[in-house]
A = this chain, B = another copy of it.
């Protein structure tokens, strides 16, 4: 069975695992005060070009969004996000659970525009009734977005400028940031992210770690007593070393970017083959998530040999599916998938012909 279901199917990258093994029996203090956490923070500060940044390690993406957002917002405030933003749609109401509304903007390819944001903020403050409404207290974007798309440096700069004008922080969800940074068609570096965002997180869970996300407050303006707030939200690991050691490994010798590169290379190869075979792309993603339209019969057959994600129904006979690559994806598996997709394509064109080969595939 081939697996292109997501980018968190394997455990940890071997270099990450190696460091966990090497440090396993060291006696270290808890709650993120160990030397590996400190070392990881220093390396991340350097990689971000933010020598003064405050850095904290949390365990997962939803937890990080929930903790950061609810620690920054005042109680009368909500967070602005694309209507397709992860916090708006797929985190089980984790933000509302903390008392805050997600204020949604229209999106294009998963992205919000500075223009729409400016209009929203301007309209809000001009509304005579705005004191009866939820104040926009910060802006959330994801990079890559939930559709694998990327903001350009210019777009980030514009969003950042609007946020500055309205004195609200810009927060970037980098659950898959490694795959954004390694994309071929991007002009955004980690330093750019750090420059334009007030706070963001570097995703570990989907990029080589067993678990872990690194939150970066680029302007060293962490909410007061953030550690207590993390604890209060159930997000403080006793063995902080678990995330500290992993991020220390990820930010040693450029491993985090190297990890991203494998995902991009394998995704690009898969896209090349799909394009050659005439597949329709649902969206043009430059990162590790590929959204393709499959004919339903073919999709069902493919399921017998490949694990992938249902995305949405396109029409009565077609479905949008997602193939994801990762740091762990092997090029040979991409080739096997390519072959299946290519054969599937032929089978479908030949439906009704009952060739013995088709049977063979079906019976597998």
How far is B14's CA from A229's CA once the two chains are assembled, in angstroms? Answer: 33
Residues B96 and A228 in contact, CB atoms below 8 Å apart:
no
Residues B9 and A76 in contact, CB atoms below 8 Å apart:
no
Residues of A within 8 A of B (CB): 3, 5-6, 8-12, 14, 17, 20-21, 23-30, 59-67, 70-71, 74-76, 78, 89-94, 96-102, 128-129, 131-135, 205-206, 210-211, 224-225, 227-229, 231-239, 241-242, 307, 310, 328
Q: Which residue of B lies closest to A25 (CB)?
A: B10
Can you name 13 extra interface pairs (CB under 8 A) apart from A10-B28, A17-B20, A92-B134?
A6-B30, A8-B238, A9-B27, A9-B28, A11-B241, A66-B234, A76-B229, A78-B93, A92-B231, A94-B232, A94-B233, A97-B233, A211-B238
Chain B residues in 8 Å Cβ range of A129: 90
How far is B11's CA from A28's CA once the two chains are assembled, in angstroms? Answer: 9
Closest 9 A-B residue pairs measured CB to CB? Answer: A63-B234, A11-B24, A93-B134, A92-B232, A92-B231, A9-B27, A96-B101, A3-B27, A76-B228
Residues B89 and A75 in contact, CB atoms below 8 Å apart:
no
Q: Which residue of B lies closest to A20 (CB)?
A: B11
Residues A211 and B239 in contact, CB atoms below 8 Å apart:
yes
Q: Which residue of B lies closest to A74 (CB)?
A: B224
* Given known A132-B92, A225-B76, A225-B131, contact A236–B62 (CB-CB < 8 A): yes
How far is B30's CA from A6's CA once the two chains are assembled, in angstroms? Answer: 9
Chain B residues in 8 Å Cβ range of A59: 59, 211, 237
Residues A238 and B93 in contact, CB atoms below 8 Å apart:
no
Chain B residues in 8 Å Cβ range of A233: 94, 97, 234
Q: Which residue of B lies closest to A132 (CB)?
A: B90
Chain B residues in 8 Å Cβ range of A234: 60, 62-67, 94, 233-235
Q: Which residue of B lies closest to A30 (CB)?
A: B8
How far is B211's CA from A74's CA once the two chains are assembled, in angstroms? Answer: 29
Chain B residues in 8 Å Cβ range of A12: 24
Can you name 12 A-B pairs with beta carbons within 8 Å?
A: A5-B27, A5-B29, A9-B27, A10-B25, A20-B210, A59-B237, A63-B234, A64-B234, A75-B232, A91-B232, A93-B134, A132-B231
Residues B63 and A235 in contact, CB atoms below 8 Å apart:
yes
